[in-house]
A and B are shown apart, each in its own frame.
Chain A
Amino acid sequence: MIHLFCALPCEAEPLIQHFKLSDIKEFDLFRIYQSKDKEISLTTTGIGKLNMAAAVSYQYACLKTSAADIWLNIGVAGHATLSLGEARLVNKITDEHDDTSWYPQIIFNSPCASTNLITLDKPSTDYQDALYDMEASAFYQLAIRLGTAELIHCLKIISDNAEQNTATVNADKVKKMITAQVQTIEQLIDCLKPLSAEIHSITAEPKHYQHFIEKWHFTKSESLQLSRLLRQWSLYLPDVDIMSLVADNKSGKTVLNTLRESINNSEFAIHD
């Protein structure tokens, strides 16, 4: 799943339209939108770190997320010199309040250049050679508790700079800027999808696991052993019918013993 977070409705609107997202009525503390196939969600958080942190937590509580999910904070930001409308991925986030930094991991060929970002408590027109926003540090700090660091990113579009400050920014301009960068956002998601698929593949339950859990009782520790044995089975004895082997077993314990015995009695080759 892909989770998008925008502070402002005008940042969210072009994405809601582009990804054809619908408002989920049952959640009313923050507005959460979702695609029909439930693969993409978007939450509008409101301005500032507190709102962002609360919204990320709320979204996590409302939707079932996993380590393989992609988390993106999309929004506008200021910068001293970059031109309005340019997009930047964030490679370092510093919270101005306590000078703590985080380093989003860009391990793919990014669709746009990356730069550092400072999250402020209050709006400022004291532009420097960094992006400025009011949410990213809270977004990242929370999201890395819930997901995998390499799948969590902030993409910012320049809305104001030293020549054209925040006074010139309005909702219509923001909508146009985000709309103009939808392709970049799509490309970023395309870069992250294979990484997400890889995490999914390594965190997924082994084949037959659910069936075993439903048919026999396993304690928590036995469930872990089962998971490990099922994986070993698929590597050692991929062509042997596991279900017929364990069909007559009466308990989880005997199932584990049967699997273990079969694996121990088979030859192990590390190469093909």
Chain B
Amino acid sequence: MIDTIYIEEEIANHPRTLAILKRFPEATKISCQRYGEVFNSKAQNFRLQKKQPALILARKHKGLALPSPKEYAIGAEHNYYFSHMLNCLYDCRYCFLQGKFQSAHYVLFVNYEDFIEEMQLILNQHAEEAVHFFSGYDCDSLALEPVTDFTNDFFPFFEKNTRALLEIRTKSTQIRSLLKRSPIKNCVVAFSFTPDKIARALENKAPDINKRLQAILDLQKAGWQIGLRFDPLIYTKDYAKEYSELFNTIFSKIDPDLTHSISLGGFRLPKDYFRKLEKLYPDEKLFASPQAEEKNNIGYPAEIRHEMLDFCENIITQHVPAEKFFPCHDSV
């Protein structure tokens, strides 16, 4: 799976680095001073690299947890996101990471202890208030779990600090590490969904929706709280039929009491990311969708966006109470 591993000199002897290297005895190891030398180098082609991404082990120095926009909140006043990884095992055509990064290599920041220390500082800043921490902005939180051991290191912090809530955003079915332990009340495992036909067309290498749904059912059975993320909503001529089927499938099976939150938002990308993706995948239908430019973003025209959001919102609110529903009504 991973043939090449770049290792920052600074963390070459970090225990997590050594443990990961042990898993890949055959991989070619290449030392570098800073991961940006490899990851940020220009002239790289994301589409080609996605065929055989390398793993880069690095140390995150700054910006370990950053404030996240209010429109993405799920009920708290104070919201932060953090990324122990950059890039994702899957190859979803709508993913903004393809536009954000020069490289498709996976960067893993091995200094989890510094992330946790930063989170503690943030919690201290907001004494006695709820703080939400989102994982899965720059990566899929669980897709590389057997390698990263992410949950094992981060969960104890949240077990100790119950006013902090952790959202783990994923499409992965790598839930063994969660099922092995007692559920954590202040952790939400949030699965992203698009309808089956759209997922087949756009979510390359990701588990199909039935497998994701099975993972949800297994987690709920074990007592874990689940989030449902219908973001991005993808337009197609029969979107109403496709999304109705998806909602029916999901809401007929899941336990609403163990469903923490549901959010949705239309497909939109910063303009320069969109243009880069259009160049990388000129024959991709998604980038030929009806589109409008607004405030330096590209997304669907307002009438399509509002129609889809209203349609989905109408169905979702029949299944979950309003306090669990968090639509993202931002402009494109």
Contacts and interface: CB of A to CB of B under 8 A. Distances in A.
Interface of A: 91-92, 101-103, 105-108, 113-114, 116, 144-145, 147-150, 195, 198-199, 202, 206, 228, 231-232, 234-236, 264, 267-272
Given A101-B32, A105-B49, A268 B44 contact: no
A231 B43 contact: no
Contact of B238 (A106, A145, A199, A269): A269
B237 to A, nearest CB: 4
24 contacts: A92-B31, A101-B32, A101-B33, A101-B37, A103-B37, A103-B38, A107-B53, A108-B52, A148-B43, A148-B44, A148-B45, A149-B41, A149-B44, A202-B282, A202-B283, A206-B282, A231-B282, A231-B283, A232-B288, A235-B283, A236-B288, A267-B237, A270-B202, A272-B201
B204 interface: no
Given A103-B38, A270-B234, A114 B49 contact: no
Contacts of A268: 235-237, 285, 288-290
Contacts of A91: 4, 28, 30
Given A228-B278, A269-B237, A270-B236, 4 more contacts: A91-B28, A107-B52, A149-B44, A271-B198
Given A101-B33, A268-B289, A271-B198, A198 B48 contact: yes
Given A103-B37, A107-B51, A235-B285, A202 B279 contact: yes
B43 to A, nearest CB: 4
Interface of B: 4, 6, 28, 30-33, 37-38, 41-45, 47-49, 51-53, 197-198, 200-202, 234-238, 278-283, 285-286, 288-290
Nearest to A272: B201
A264 B290 contact: yes
Contacts of A198: 47-48
B147 to A, nearest CB: 19
Nearest to B6: A103
A107 B49 contact: yes
A107 B4 CA distance: 9
A149 B45 contact: yes
A145 B202 CA distance: 32
A150 B42 CA distance: 11
Contacts of A235: 283, 285, 288
Nearest to A145: B43
A155 to B, nearest CB: 15
Nearest to B278: A228
A195 B288 contact: no
Contacts of B278: 228
A198 B198 CA distance: 24
A221 B44 CA distance: 26
A228 B274 CA distance: 13
Contacts of A271: 197-198, 200-201, 236
Contacts of B41: 102-103, 144, 149
Given A91-B4, A92-B30, A105 B44 contact: yes
A198 B282 CA distance: 11
A263 to B, nearest CB: 8
B234 to A, nearest CB: 6
B198 A270 contact: yes
B117 to A, nearest CB: 31
A202 B30 CA distance: 31
B235 A106 contact: no
Contacts of A145: 43
B44 A150 contact: yes
3 tightest A-B CB contacts, nearest first? A232-B288, A107-B52, A271-B197
A44 to B, nearest CB: 25
A268 B197 CA distance: 14
A175 B52 CA distance: 34
Contacts of B285: 235, 268-270
B293 to A, nearest CB: 13
B230 to A, nearest CB: 15
Most chain A CB neighbours (cut-off 10 Å) among B6, B28, B234, B288? B288
